[in-house]
Structure 1
């Protein structure tokens, strides 16, 4: 499935999905989700798995930077709420909710305001093109 209530898949491999988030938390906010065997921590991956995971993160981050032109990218590998390996990619812009500090991410409830569907679809298409 390329879309669900949380976002739109913009990139995938056999082991990784990248999902551009639908919630209007930060434009370009993307989750990289490990779809291989269940692990909680990156160090649980073997060398090949780790290469696959981090290579996907770098490829998606590069596309996000090329498209959105942020001042900085943040990479947050947390797992406090959902104990399965995933990394939040957050572009940081001039207009920022927490300049100089970590992005104020809260667990999503599903009730967050949503990005305009047309804008989300347009962004997803542009990012997919960059990731081909």
Structure 2
């Protein structure tokens, strides 16, 4: 599965701690992130991530482009709802794309844990079936 990580500044430490806690599960998947978030995760874990630009510089949109092509399976986006973000329209566009393409999205620790446990149990294997069907249609 392809998993994207995004975190606002006030939530980066939480996302790093999440990645540390679930490193053994996450290490079995392709991981992506926006700039600083990915750097911090890689500095504090053994996980390797493909890093895009930082969110305000287009990283959210780069991840959104993968979602629109059905090339992302899960998005874990620890948002800071109490701090205004200058790129709020980009954030809302990313959330909308997750809904349009039925991409599982966690915006907080509780939901992220449910997704990761579901991933480990095989509850998200339907994403693999979607990829297989797309490959058949090519």
Asked if TM exceeds 0.5, the reply is no
* Greater helix content: 2
* Greater strand content: 1
